[in-house]
Structure 1
Amino acid sequence: MTDDVERALQQPQGSFFMDDAKGFQAIRAKALMKVLEKYEKSDRTSQAENIANGFVSRGDAQNHAEVSTNLKNQTGIDLSAYLRNSPNIAERVNALTAGNIQLIKSIRSQYLDKVQNAVMQAMVRGSLNKDLAAQIKDLGKTTEKRAMFIARDQSSKLNAALTQARHEEVGIKKYMWSASLDERVRESHAEKDGQIFEYVNPPADTGHPGHDFNCRCVQIPVLDDVVNLKSEETE
C-alpha cells in the first residue's frame, strides 16, 4: 500500500504545482488521489484476516509447544494433547485473532487518512511538490515502524495470553514473574522478578507479564495445587 502511494508521487505529468527553482517533476495529484480512493473503497478484510490468522496460528503453535514442554518437565505429565484440544483455548485464540484483524485494518486506515490530509493541506497551501513527496514518504516509514512495533508488542501479548489460558486450563492459579533483567527492562518489571502473583489479581501498575507494551517478561507456573485433570486425561 505505501509503495503504491509513493509510486504515484514519482510519475511525471503536466504542470500542477512545480518547484520553480529546481524544476522538479510535478506530483501527479490526480494519480495520487486515485490511489487513495482505490484503497479507501477496497475491502481488505480478507487480507487482514489472512495475516492475522497466520500470525496467531504460528504464535499459538509455539506457545503450545513451550508450555506443554515446561509443564511436562515440572509434572512428568504430557499435557500436550489435552491443551491442544481445549475449547477454552480455542476461544481465546479466536478472540486474539479478531483483535489482530482490527489492529491491522487500523494501521491501513490511519495511514490513508494521514496521506489524504497531507495532500489536501498541500493543495490549499499551493505546495504540492517535492516537500509533500518527502512528507508522504516519512508517513510511510512511520507506518512501517508502527507496524513493526505493534507486531513485536502483539507477539508478547499473544504469548502471555495463551500461557495464562493454558495454565488456567490445568488448574494453575499462580505464576512467578520472570524478567529479562537486561538494560532494556523497565524498573517496575525488574523489581517483580521472582515474585509470585495470582492470575485473578494482576499487579496494578503493570498487569501480568506481556500486558505492558513490548514487555518481554514471562510467567513461570507455580504448582502449589494439584493439577485438576480427569484421570483419563493424565494417562
Structure 2
Amino acid sequence: MTYHHRFAQDRAGTSARSAFKRALKLERSYAQRLRGIARHIGDIVKGFAWETLEEIAASSEPAQRLLRRYADTLDPWANAVAQRMVAEVAASDRVSWRKLSSDMGRQLHREIDTAPTGEAMRASMQRQVGLIKSLPLDAAERVHKLTQEGITQGRRAAEIADEIMASGDVARSRAMLIARTEVSRTATELTKARAEHIGSTHFIWRTAGDSDVRSTHKVLNGKTFRWDQPPECDPGHHALPGGIWNCRCYPEVVVPDLD
C-alpha cells in the first residue's frame, strides 16, 4: 500500500465518521416529521368513544375507515417528505465524498460526481412512502385486532379501550424506528453506490462506539467485508451497516489504490 493510498484510507475513515454524525441530525429531523402522523393517528382514535364493549364495537369500523382514508390522503405529503429526506442524505453523502476526493485528485472527483446513485435514491423514496403510509394503516389493523380479541376473548372494556387509545403512542414509537433505520439505510445505500462506482469492493464495519451498540455488532467492528456479501449482523439477518432496524453502525469505504 502506497503512502498516498494509506492517507486516502485514513481520510475515508474520517469522512465516514463525519457522515455518521450528520446522519444523526437528519434522523432527528425526519423523526420530527413522522411524529406528526402519529399525533394525528392519536387524534383520530381519541375522537371515538371506547368506554364500553358496545361503544368499542360501534367505533371500531368507522375508526378503521378514517385511518385508512388518512393513509390515502398522505400520498403527496409522503412523497414530499421522502424526497426531502433522501435529498438531504444524498447531499450529506456528496459532502463526505468530495472531501475525500479533494485529497485524491481530479480523477476520483470526476468519478464520484458521475456515480449512478439515482436508482438507490428512487428505491429509498419509494420505500419511505410505503413506510409513511403504513403508520395509519397499521393503526387501523391494530384497532381491528384489539376489537376482535376483546369480543372473542371476553376481555374487560377498560383494558381494550386503554390499548386502543394508546394507538398514537404506538405509532410514535414506530415512527422513531423508521426514522432511525431509514436515514442510516439510505446513507449506506448511497455510499455503496458511489464506492462500487470507483472500484471499491469492500468496506470496514464501524459502530457508534457506545454502550447501546448490540453485542452482535460489536464483534463486527473493524472487520472488513465485501459490499455484495454483507455479514450476519443479527441471527438470521445479513445486512450492511445501518441497513437493519435500529442499527447506528456505518461503513468505512475501503478505497481502491488508484495509483
Amino acid at match of 1:222: V
Match of 1:51 in 2: 81
The match for 2:209 among 181, 198, 202 is 181
Aligned length: 214
Match of 2:62 in 1: 34
Amino acid at match of 1:200: D
Higher relative contact order (CA 8 A, sep 6+): 2
Using structure 1 for the length normalisation, give the TM-score: 0.74
Using structure 2 for the length normalisation, give the TM-score: 0.68
Tell me the SS of whatever aligns to 1:215.
coil
Larger CA Rg, structure 1 vs 2: 1
Match of 1:231 in 2: none
**Percent of paired sites with the same residue:** 23
Over aligned residue pairs, what C-alpha RMSD do you find? 3.2
Q: Is the 8 A contact 1:177 1:219 kept in 2?
A: yes
Report the structure, 1 or 2, having the larger helix content: 2
Amino acid at match of 1:50: A
Unaligned runs of 5+ in 1: 19-25, 228-235
Post-superposition CA distance 1:46-71 (Å, at most 9, x none): 33222222222222211221232234
Unaligned runs of 5+ in 2: 1-39
Q: Is the 8 A contact 1:177 1:217 kept in 2?
A: yes
Q: Does 1:6 align with 2:45?
A: yes
Distance 1:100 1:197 in 2: 27
Distance 2:149 2:223 in 1: 53
Match of 2:225 in 1: 197
Residues 1-235 of structure 1: pairs in structure 2 closer than 5 A = 1-9=40-48, 17=52, 33-41=61-69, 43=72, 44-73=74-103, 75-77=104-106, 83-86=112-115, 88-122=116-150, 130-205=158-233, 206-226=238-258
Change (3 A) 1:193 1:126: closer
Distance 2:151 2:225 in 1: 56
